[in-house]
Amino acid sequence: IPPRQLFLVQSVGLVIGSLGQVSVLNWALNHIPGICTLSAPNGFTCPFSRTHFNTSMVWGALGPRRFFAEGAMYRSLLWFFLVGAVLPVIVYVLRKRVFTESKWLRKIHVPLFLGGLNYIPPASGTNYGSWAIVGLLFGLLIKKRQKTWWRRYNFVLSSALDCSVAIAGIVIFFAIFYTGASSKLNWWGTEVYKDTCDWKSCTYLSRSEH
């Protein structure tokens, strides 16, 4: 790719993306009632924004001592610092000393795997399940059986799917939700998501009253 054309495309994309995001954010804050709350219409609950806000509260205003000190609810999570440090060593030893001929073990990248978990929350098993299915389908099955096609079209298809989701989201929002037509489309497919733990924010453990 010619460097000048690449720089031009990146610069134009940066300007359009920055202005577009700020414009959409300002429009949404002023036109969607109850946005970023559980009562917001059409699911505009801002899960990523609320996650970042809660994180800033934990590490800033409240302080980590109330959550991770001795006897606190999330004290056991500190053990995962040790797990993250030891797990790559275990995989390395298994690959070099025990399963020296294993091909799949060579492809395990522990920091990349653990880093992918940063999206939890707000991502859930539904998100990770769909990502895993698509990743295994194209990264393993199709790559193994149709390697020529995979080299030529796999990443182009990935970009096309990303763009199609964004375009479909825009069209669906302005054609169905913004016009109010969604209130007239009531069937199992439009209501079933409200009976899931993703929508209801189910908790694994209840908060103690004391």
CB atoms within 10 A of CB 87: 16
- Residue 16: the pLDDT is 93
DSSP label at residue 206: P
Number of H helices, E strands in the chain: 10, 0
* Per-residue pLDDT tens digits for 53-62: 888 887 777 7
Q: Where are the domains of the chain?
A: 75-123, 125-190
What predicted TM-score, i.e. pTM, was given to this entire model?
A: 0.59
- Residue 174: the pLDDT is 84
- Residue 209: the pLDDT is 61
- Residue 207: the pLDDT is 67
Average pLDDT of the residues of the chain = 84
* Per-residue pLDDT tens digits for 7-51: 999 999 999 989 988 998 898 888 888 888 877 877 788 888 888
Distance of alpha carbon 99 from alpha carbon 105, whole angstroms = 8
**Long-range CB contacts for residues 68-77, cutoff 8 Å, separation at least 24:** 73/205, 73/208
- Nearest alpha carbon to residue 205 among 79, 80, 74: 74
- Residue 208: the pLDDT is 64
- For 148-168, give the DSSP string: HHHHHHHHHHHHHHHHHHHHH
Burial of 175 (0-12, 13-18, 19+ CB in 10 A): exposed
Low-confidence residues of the chain: pLDDT under 50: none
- Residue 86: the pLDDT is 92
